[in-house]
């Protein structure tokens, strides 16, 4: 029995538990609700939770642990030479799993029966071609050991899923029975239900922590793997980026870092003046009605998916810049360029900078403005000489956050910046960034354990650290500034 029907049965059991628990409590109290410690529904909830929650967690634990046992059973069929190092045994195991899936498919499509499978022999006929016909592509011919391991694997999985269903349902029924036994008029059902709910709520808030742990773990483990194959100094200080299929690649980080920084600088040169002026106008000049209309319209810019901006960069901005600026000025004739990507990322960041700055400008106390007006300043003088200096730390924070977003932006640079890793000052040349190369190296066809692929994790880790530092710094600056006027 697969997991989905099992979960459905558990849900049905829980629903039955609710009705049973509630009715039993009412029956024991002789129908008089006031004799019960808790409201009748809580007895129902108690039974439902008992039926569902322990069985559910047991199921999850089973799913996590089962593969280890089944694999060790299947691996015992493989020759000792395969098991010696971990890479070859992982590969063999994935073959075993694929063949088992192929056998399942064959049975499902009616190409084989269970007795055929028992009689299946690796030395007869071309099994690899056969598995191809049932939709399982294998890299190498099927060896007898792998085939018998796959048969064993299938049988264990099949019997394990039956045992699993029985065990899980037994747990659910037993817990439900126990819950019903506990049910009595003086049983504190509400308190118990609330305790479990509180635990569940807490568990949910831990997922955020787990995500961070998962991110850091996935980045770190594969980065270590990379640095064990490629010297760390050559990565961080290498000046050339030239991955090759056959190995012997140069994977220097500096050109990618330069491309990223260059694009970010251009993006900020576009986004900061436009965003800041827009924020100043909205906060200081615009009437309430204009503000109510214009602000959401600017926010639409941020609501459009980045891939749309990527296409805009690719087919509109890039060719425009090439035909009207870079080609006439003799600076190159590539539509994909640092300038293209930078300008478009800048446009995308306008609403971000403007809404953050808007908040910050609004947080500057009115008394400062009144003081400046009282001394005879015009509005723009007040803004330039009083409001902006007062808001400066907050605006700096907003700019840092904008920089962090520009550094982490992916689709626009993938489509608008090009793929050539170069160290150049010409903004009309195609250059590339860390995010482009993460996508490039991880979507290619290279072997997963080669440095050319693993470098993406090192890049990802660097990206994560840089953006995290920028954000922490920005939040710290903004918080410090806020306290100033509170």
Partner 1 sequence: MSDISANGPVGGPASAPGKPKVSIIGQSARMKARNRTESIFKVLGLSAILFSLAVLALMLFTIFRDGTSAFFQTKATFPITLSAEVIDPAGNRNRDDLAKQTTMTYNKVINEAFLAALAANGIKTDDVPQKEITEMISKGAAGELRADVLADPALVGQTIEPSIVLGGRIDGYMKGRVTRESAERDSNVTLGQLDLADRMKEAGMLATVWNWDFVTNTDSSDTRPETAGLGVAILGSAYMMFLVLIMCVPVGVAASIYLEEFAPKNRWTDLIEVNIANLAAVPSIVYGILGLAIFINVMGGQMGVEALKMSASLVGALVLSLQTLPTIIIATRSAIRAVPPSIRDAALGIGASKMQTVFHHVLPLAMPGILTGTILGLASALGETAPLLLIGMVAFVANYPSAPWEGGFSDPATALPVQVYSWASRSDPAFIERSNGAIIVLLVFLLIMNLTAIFLRRKFERRW
By CB under 8 A, tell whether 275 contacts partner 1. Answer: yes
Is 183 or 306 the residue whose CB approaches partner 1 more closely? 306
**Least distance to partner 1, CB of residue 450, Å:** 14
- CA dist 217 and 115 (Å) reads 45
Q: Are 416 and 430 in contact (CB under 8 A)?
A: no
Residue with tokens 């634990």: 61
Residue with tokens 């690719």: 314
Of the ranges 54-62, 120-128, 247-255, 268-276, which one interacts with partner 1 (CB under 8 A)? 268-276
- CA dist 406 and 385 (Å) reads 29
Of the ranges 140-148, 235-243, 270-278, 364-372, which one interacts with partner 1 (CB under 8 A)? 270-278
**Least distance to partner 1, CB of residue 89, Å:** 11
Is 212 or 229 the residue whose CB approaches partner 1 more closely? 212
HSE on the CB side for 213, CA within 13 Å?
5
**Least distance to partner 1, CB of residue 456, Å:** 7
Binding to partner 1 (CB under 8 A): which residues in 465-484? Answer: 467-468, 471-472, 475
Q: Are 413 and 463 in contact (CB under 8 A)?
A: no
Q: What beta strand segments (E) does 369-416 contain?
A: none
Among 205, 287, 366, 367, binds partner 1 (CB under 8 A): 205
Binding to partner 1 (CB under 8 A): which residues in 358-377? Answer: 375-376
HSE on the CB side for 132, CA within 13 Å?
9
Among 119, 139, 297, 329, binds partner 1 (CB under 8 A): 297
DSSP 3-state percent helix, strand, coil across the chain (nearest 5): 80, 0, 20
Of the ranges 118-126, 200-208, 259-267, 421-429, which one interacts with partner 1 (CB under 8 A)? 200-208
By CB under 8 A, tell whether 384 contacts partner 1. Answer: yes
By CB under 8 A, tell whether 443 contacts partner 1. Answer: yes
Binding to partner 1 (CB under 8 A): which residues in 167-186? Answer: none
Residue 10 burial (CB count, 10 A): 20
* Helix residue ranges, H only, 183-237: 189-229, 232-237
Among 233, 248, 305, 330, binds partner 1 (CB under 8 A): 305
- CA dist 394 and 358 (Å) reads 10
Site map for partner 1, 66-85, x if CB under 8 A? -xx-xx--------------
Closest CA to 140 of 151, 129, 149: 129
**Least distance to partner 1, CB of residue 416, Å:** 11
**Least distance to partner 1, CB of residue 263, Å:** 14
Binding to partner 1 (CB under 8 A): which residues in 403-432? Answer: 404-405, 407-411, 414-415
Residue 383 burial (CB count, 10 A): 21
Is 146 or 463 the residue whose CB approaches partner 1 more closely? 463
By CB under 8 A, tell whether 433 contacts partner 1. Answer: no
Element at 482 (helix H, strand E): helix 451-485
Tell me the β-bridge partners of 250. 242
**Least distance to partner 1, CB of residue 207, Å:** 6
Binding to partner 1 (CB under 8 A): which residues in 314-353? Answer: 314-316, 347, 350-351
Is 91 or 170 the residue whose CB approaches partner 1 more closely? 91
295 burial level (CB within 10 Å; 0-12, 13-18, 19+): middle
Among 57, 108, 237, 285, binds partner 1 (CB under 8 A): 285
**Least distance to partner 1, CB of residue 273, Å:** 7
Q: Residue 241 — φ and ψ, nearest 5°?
A: -120, 110
The length of the chain in residues reads: 486
Q: Are 348 and 302 in contact (CB under 8 A)?
A: yes
**Least distance to partner 1, CB of residue 132, Å:** 16
Is 281 or 426 the residue whose CB approaches partner 1 more closely? 281
Among 106, 142, 266, 282, binds partner 1 (CB under 8 A): 282
Residue 246 burial (CB count, 10 A): 7
Is 202 or 425 the residue whose CB approaches partner 1 more closely? 202
Is 170 or 469 the residue whose CB approaches partner 1 more closely? 469
The token pair at 254 is 């500096």
Of the ranges 50-58, 116-124, 179-187, 191-199, which one interacts with partner 1 (CB under 8 A)? 191-199
- CA dist 14 and 171 (Å) reads 12
3-state SS assignment for residue 421: coil
Is 229 or 316 the residue whose CB approaches partner 1 more closely? 316
- CA dist 300 and 278 (Å) reads 14
Among 127, 435, 451, 481, binds partner 1 (CB under 8 A): 435
């Amino acid at each position: 029995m697969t997991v989905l029907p099992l979960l459905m049965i558990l849900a049905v059991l829980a629903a039955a538990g609710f009705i049973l628990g509630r009715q039993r409590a009412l029956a024991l109290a002789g129908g008089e609700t006031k004799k019960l410690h808790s409201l009748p529904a809580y007895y129902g909830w108690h039974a439902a939770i008992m039926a569902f929650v322990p069985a559910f967690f047991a199921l999850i634990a089973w799913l996590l642990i089962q593969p280890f046992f089944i694999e060790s059973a299947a691996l015992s069929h493989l020759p000792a030479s395969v098991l010696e190092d971990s890479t070859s045994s992982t590969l063999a195991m994935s073959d075993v799993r694929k063949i088992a899936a192929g056998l399942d498919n064959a049975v499902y499509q009616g190409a084989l029966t269970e007795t055929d499978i028992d009689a299946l022999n690796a030395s007869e006929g071309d099994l690899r071609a056969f598995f191809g016909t049932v939709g399982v592509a294998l890299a190498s011919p099927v060896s007898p050991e792998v085939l018998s391991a796959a048969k064993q694997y299938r049988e264990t999985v099949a019997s394990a899923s039956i045992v699993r269903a029985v065990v899980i349902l037994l747990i659910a029924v037993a817990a439900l029975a126990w819950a019903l036994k506990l049910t009595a008029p003086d049983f504190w059902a509400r308190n118990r239900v609330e305790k479990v709910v509180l635990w569940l709520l807490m568990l949910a808030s831990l997922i955020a922590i787990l995500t961070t742990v998962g991110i850091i773990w996935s980045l770190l483990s594969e980065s270590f793997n990379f640095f064990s194959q490629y010297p760390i100094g050559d990565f961080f200080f290498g000046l050339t980026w030239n991955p090759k299929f056959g190995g012997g690649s140069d994977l220097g980080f500096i050109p990618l870092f330069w491309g990223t920084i260059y694009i970010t600088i251009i993006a900020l040169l576009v986004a900061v003046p436009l965003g800041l002026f827009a924020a100043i106008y909205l906060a200081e000049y615009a009437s309430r009605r204009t503000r109510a209309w214009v602000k959401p319209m600017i926010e639409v810019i941020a609501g459009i998916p980045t891939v749309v901006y990527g296409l805009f960069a690719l087919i509109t901005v890039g060719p425009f810049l090439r035909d009207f600026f870079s080609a006439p000025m003799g600076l190159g004739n590539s539509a994909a360029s640092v300038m293209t990507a930078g300008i478009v990322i800048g446009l995308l960041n306008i609403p971000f900078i403007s809404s953050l700055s808007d908040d910050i400008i609004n947080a500057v106390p009115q008394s400062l403005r009144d003081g400046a007006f009282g001394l005879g300043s015009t509005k723009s003088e007040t803004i330039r000489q009083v409001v902006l200096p007062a808001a400066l730390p907050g605006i700096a924070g907003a700019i840092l956050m904008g920089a962090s977003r520009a550094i982490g932006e992916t689709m626009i640079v993938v489509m608008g910046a090009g793929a050539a890793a170069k160290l150049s000052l010409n903004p009309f040349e195609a250059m590339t960034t860390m995010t482009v190369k993460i996508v490039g190296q991880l979507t290619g066809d290279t072997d997963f354990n080669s440095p050319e692929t693993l470098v993406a994790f090192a890049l990802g880790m660097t990206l994560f650290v840089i953006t995290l530092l920028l954000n922490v710094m920005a939040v710290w600056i903004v918080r410090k500034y806020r306290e100033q006027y509170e």
